[in-house]
Structure 1
Amino acid sequence: MLQISTREGERPETTNTNPHEQLTQNPSVECHQLFKEKLFHFDKVSRRPSIISVPGAEALWLEEGEPCNCTNGFMIEREFAHIHPAYDGSLHMALSEEDFKTVIDKQWGERHPLAGKGPIPETIALVYAPRDIEEIDTVMKIVNASLKNAKTTKGTAL
């Protein structure tokens, strides 16, 4: 179960359609870069251009052949999360139902407007961009929960 504190301040403004983006409280270029340096260091996870997001978004992709949660562990193929470019800084990711609820309740994110429609799982969240080093640590916990969800399996593999 994801253990995070409540995010301080008001929720940022976001778009309510695609592209689903964070419009306010965006990180500095330096904060965004520092976060990305930490973000792409998970074992068995590749850094790739996102195949479902805006140009410049970078995906976290569970490597081929790794056992996975094929039900609600990914947004598309093996892309379980992606980060938007620095002008936005937010992330989209697939979460377990329990972790999704925690992220929403603790004000770290919101439901994607297309979640639950078509092939997009119900528990796809936009997680707000970290605004400082302390928030980077919290958002990393959320990304780790997304990876754990992607890897939770009953023995299936894509």
Structure 2
Amino acid sequence: MVQEELWSRMRSLPYVYMAPTLVSVAHARALHLVEGIGSALPERFQRDREFAHLHPHHDGSLHLSLPNWARDVAARSGWGMPHPAQDSFLVFGPRDRRELEVVWHLVQLSYAWAMGEVNEEATDSQR
């Protein structure tokens, strides 16, 4: 199942711990960045140190914290949409291996954003 492959990759990110989400539905699995690591800017997280969560299997989508330029590119490309009430971006769940790679790239970008490794202004290599 591609969702479990995605979760396995998400869990392997350095300085991340898994815990229940602070902002989503029951049974969503969330990634939190260890305190003292990465950015301390609250706009780079959904709540506290949570920067991503994966919804339950019946849905398969996920919410990520992303810079505005990345949200714009992902929305224009048809990979998701801004959350209507929270400051996060809904990414549609991957259905196959090709989509898994695109979604994994967005997760890595969210992680880099939380770590403070990505700026609000995109460079050509980031787009």
Query: Could you state the TM-score of these two structures normalised by the residue count of structure 1?
Result: 0.70
Extract unaligned runs of 5+ from structure 1. 1-29, 116-120, 154-158
Paired with 1:107 and 1:69, the residues of 2 have a C-alpha distance of: 30
1:81-116 deviation digits (Å, cap 9, x = unpaired): 10001000000011001111111111100010103x
Paired with 1:130 and 1:47, the residues of 2 have a C-alpha distance of: 20
Same amino acid, percent of matched pairs: 32
Corresponding residue of 1:53: 24
Paired with 2:93 and 2:38, the residues of 1 have a C-alpha distance of: 29
- From 42, 66, 69, give the equivalent of 1:95: 66
The RMSD of aligned alpha carbons is 1.4
Extract unaligned runs of 5+ from structure 2. 118-127
Contact 1:73 1:95 in 2 (8 A): yes
When you count helix as a share of all residues, which structure comes out higher?
Answer: 2
Paired with 2:89 and 2:40, the residues of 1 have a C-alpha distance of: 17
Contact 1:50 1:79 in 2 (8 A): yes
Paired with 1:112 and 1:71, the residues of 2 have a C-alpha distance of: 17
How do 1:53-132 and structure 2 match up within 5 A?
53-115=24-86, 121=87, 124-132=88-96
Write out the 4+ residue segments of structure 1 that deviate beyond 3 Å after TM superposition: none
Equivalenced residue count is 117
Corresponding residue of 1:20: none
Partner AA of 2:101 in structure 1: D
Deviation, structure 1 residue 69: 4.5
Larger of the two Rg values belongs to structure: 1
Deviation, structure 1 residue 34: 2.2
**Relative contact order higher in (CA < 8 Å, ≥ 6 apart):** 1
1:64-92 deviation digits (Å, cap 9, x = unpaired): 11131514210100000100010000000
